[in-house]
Amino acid sequence: MGYELLTIGEVAERFGVRPSTLRYYEEQGLLEPATRRGGRRCYDEAGLRRLALVLTWQQTGLMRLADIRTLVNNPVTTGEWQDVLQARMAQLNQQIDRLQEARRYLDHLMSCPRDDPANKCPYLAKELQTQVDAALSDTTDETELDTESDRPSRRPPLEEFAFPFLANPGRPAAGG
């Protein structure tokens, strides 16, 4: 099916993104206009498909643009694709674990029988003290890095949290 060339504004409107997003994708090597008309970028069907692919992978796979660029710009073998995708799956699984922990934490606070769980929940008080103690300590385990910044993390690992339901999700917390 043949398509006419669409200007950057038309493409942005049809895909629900800003023209600046398309220019950014171009700067990042993810998208290339087919031509220019009167100084304006114009995209053909191949460009629209490429944009659809980038948006799909970014939105549904939550992939970083750098990973998408690697996959779309470099001829890779099946094994290389799988390596990139397996690494992303591992990252997503870690995010899912953290979100499940957060949900259990919020569920506990919502069901805590204390009138003021922020100040009166014994589990929260113990967790907060653990974090304060870790922040005030002079030693940091350099082997445990914050995955987002590659800096040492002062937050204790999950198993050290005072909330028993975080370390043991199958068992409800007693007395909280």
Domain map (residue ranges) of the chain: 6-73, 78-167
Summarised one tens digit per residue, pLDDT across range 45-103 is 999 999 999 999 888 876 888 888 888 877 666 677 778 788 888 988 999 999 998 89
Distances in whole angstroms, Cα of residue 141 to Cα of each of 126, 129, 137, 145: 21, 19, 11, 8
Q: How long, in residues, is the chain?
A: 176
Residue scoring higher pLDDT (173 or 49) = 49
Angle, helices 45-60/19-27, rounded to nearest 10 degrees: 90
Residue 176 has pLDDT above 70, yes or no: no
Coil, helix or strand at residue 5 = coil
Structure tokens at 110: 């919502």
List, in sequence order, the alpha helices (H) in 16-64.
19-27, 45-60
* Fold of the CATH domain 6-73: Multidrug-efflux Transporter Regulator; Chain: A; Domain 2 (1.10.1660)
Dihedral sign from CA coordinates of 15, 21, 22, 25: negative
